[in-house]
Amino acid sequence: MSKIIVMTSGKGGVGKTTSSAAFATGLALRGFKTVVIDFDVGLRNLDLVMGCERRVVFDFINVINGEAKLNQALIKDKRIENLYILPTSQTRDKDALTREGVEKVLNELSKDFDYILCDSPAGIERGALMSLYFADHAIIVTNPEVSSVRDSDRILGVLNSRSRRAEQGLEPVTQQLLLTRYDPERVEKGEMLKVDDVLEILAIPLLGVIPESQAVLRASNVGMPVILDEVSNAGLAYSDAVGRFLGEDIEHRFVTPQKKGLFSRLLRRSA
Amino acid sequence: MSIFNFFRAAPRASAVQAKERLQIVMAHERAGRSGPDYLPMLQQELLAVIAKYVNIDENKVEVKLDRGGDCSTLEVNIELPAREQAKAAAAAKTAEKSAGNDVGAAKRPAGGAVGNGGAKKRI
């Protein structure tokens, strides 16, 4: 029986797809058979971030509608063993996501996979609701910024009231915070909310802090999940977060400004 | 950096303001979210009943649900109008001393049904 994870945030542009790609890759790297599903019907981008956009033939909606078999739509990652992508439709809209259809696909996937990662669209409408409905675990992607924190709180409320686990009175969906685009230097100057501030406000456990990093844009440019960039802070931070998700005790890195040596100061170079 | 900046008082860190603003707005939103959604309806129906007997101002009604540890309080505050000035003076002795007073406040155990306790009249 597989575990269903939803990567969600309420607000758009905070790094859900980047995090989904990185997280799914991280789980597969540790040997778990993992599939990552794009729920952003009509605005698909997971395929681009994963670098498989030219291999999309059938999609999630085709499978829901019975127009294609699941294994025709699943794309096997070329780099990582155990990693699969289920892209979504670029032409349909979110109404194509029926609860029965999504459930059918998830049930079929759960026979084969250890982890099913659902990449939620922004908002709290159908697409987002469907992506979180069947979840066992939720990873809340948040930027240290007022609108993102407020929207995350909203989505936590939705998870607690409108997920399957909430509706059926089962054990609640576990919730963990992934704080992305964190800039320790701005935090030190008092220009950005601290990790502890966000934790105090949202009151959920911390899964990881991903530092603001140029590596994220570089990785998406070339269609590579940033976790595969093993020299970047962001890649390492995602790797740590995956470890923590699996129960390892890993200290948080990149939450304080890195001391720059005279040499790098002179060259004004940043990692 | 100009030399003048050195003497200027440092502005309050914007992150501190961000946190305070978030805490306030979210306290409001969470309260609204956890509240049962029959409150607006209850308020309207209560009003309709009371309006049958007393001339009240719709804007001077407040329905509030506070959740405590083991006891929730449903508080209904309705401001009754002062009697029409002329009558008021004459009837001051005999009329109910309700003019200008708040009426209501029903207590109920957490999770229980509304109406477990009688409405008290505070005079």
Verify whether the Cβ–Cβ distance B30 to A157 is below 8 Å.
Answer: yes
Q: Which two tokens stand for residue B57?
A: 């101002």
The answer on pLDDT for A116 being more than 90 is yes
Distances (CA, A) of B18 to A145, A148, B14, B22: 8, 12, 6, 6
Nearest by CB to A193, which of B19, B26, B33? B19
Q: Which two tokens stand for residue A130?
A: 């469907």
The pLDDT assigned to B96 comes to 41
Chain B contacts of A200, Cβ < 8 Å? 19
Q: Which two tokens stand for residue B77?
A: 């505050």
Question: Mutating which of A146, A151, A200 best tests the B interface, going by the most B Cβ atoms within 10 A?
Answer: A146
Query: What angle, 0 to 180 degrees and rounded to 10, lies between the N-to-C axes of helices A195-202 and A146-162?
Result: 30
Verify whether the Cβ–Cβ distance A150 to B15 is below 8 Å.
Answer: no
Per-residue model confidence as pLDDT tens digits over A138-184: 999 999 999 999 999 999 999 999 999 999 999 999 999 999 999 99
Give the whole-angstrom CA distance, residue B97 versus residue B82: 10
Question: Chain A residues contacting B, CB < 8 Å?
Answer: 145-146, 149-150, 153-154, 157, 187, 189-194, 197, 200-201
pLDDT digits (tens), chain B, 123 positions = 556 556 666 667 899 999 999 988 888 788 766 666 677 777 778 888 888 888 887 777 777 766 666 676 777 787 877 765 445 544 544 444 433 444 444 444 443 333 333 333 333
Distance from CA of A177 to the nearest CA of B (A): 17
CA-based nearest residue in chain B for residue A198: B19
Give the whole-angstrom CA distance, residue A45 versus residue A55: 13
Chain B contacts of A150, Cβ < 8 Å? 22, 25-26, 29
Single out the residue of A177, A79, A70 nearest to residue A113, CA to CA: A70
Tell me the helices (H) and strands (E) count for chain B, helix number first: 4, 4
Give the whole-angstrom CA distance, residue A170 versus residue A3: 15
Question: Mutating which of B1, B19, B28, B37 best tests the A interface, going by the most A Cβ atoms within 10 A?
Answer: B19
The chain-wide mean pLDDT, for chain A, equals 95
The pLDDT assigned to B57 comes to 77
Range of the domain at A95: 3-267
Distances (CA, A) of B36 to A157, A257, B67: 14, 45, 11
Q: What is the mean pLDDT of residues A44-68?
A: 97
Verify whether the Cβ–Cβ distance B13 to A197 is below 8 Å.
Answer: no
State the amino acid at position A117 in one-letter form.
L
Q: Which two tokens stand for residue A140?
A: 């809340």
Q: In a 10 Å sphere around its CB, with 0-12 CB exposed, 13-18 middle and 19+ buried, how is residue B73 labelled?
A: middle
Give the whole-angstrom CA distance, residue A209 versus residue A238: 8
Taking one residue from A and the other from B, the number of pairs with CB-CB distance under 8 angstroms is 37
Q: SS3 of A134, please?
A: coil
Q: Which two tokens stand for residue B69?
A: 């540890």
What is the per-residue burial (b if ≥16 Cβ within 10 Å, else e) of A8-33?
bbbbeebbbbbbbbbbbbbbbbbebb
Query: What ipTM does the predicted assembly reach?
Result: 0.84
| Residue A9 phi, psi (nearest 5) | -160, -15
Chain A contacts of B13, Cβ < 8 Å? 189-191
Question: Chain B residues contacting A, CB < 8 Å?
Answer: 13-16, 18-19, 21-23, 25-26, 29-30, 33
The pLDDT assigned to A134 comes to 98
The pLDDT assigned to B6 comes to 61
A17 labelled binding-site residue:
yes
A15 labelled binding-site residue:
yes
Give the residue ranges of DSSP H helices in chain A. Answer: 16-29, 46-50, 60-64, 70-73, 99-110, 126-133, 146-162, 164-167, 184-188, 195-202, 214-222, 233-245, 262-267
Distance from CA of B30 to the nearest CA of A (A): 8
Per the structure, the count of domains in chain A is 1
The pLDDT assigned to A52 comes to 97
Single out the residue of A7, A49, A236, A244 nearest to residue A141, CA to CA: A7
Paired sense of beta strands A115-119 and A34-38, if any: parallel
The pLDDT assigned to B11 comes to 64
CATH code assigned at A221: 3.40.50.300
The pLDDT assigned to B105 comes to 44
A51 labelled binding-site residue:
no
pTM beyond 0.80: no
The pLDDT assigned to B94 comes to 44
Verify whether the Cβ–Cβ distance A146 to B16 is below 8 Å.
Answer: no
Q: SS3 of A42, please?
A: coil
Classify residue A39 as left (phi > 0), alpha (psi -120 to 50) or beta. Answer: alpha
Per-residue model confidence as pLDDT tens digits over A57-94: 999 999 999 999 999 999 999 999 999 999 999 999 99
| Residue A250 phi, psi (nearest 5) | -120, 130
The pLDDT assigned to B112 comes to 37
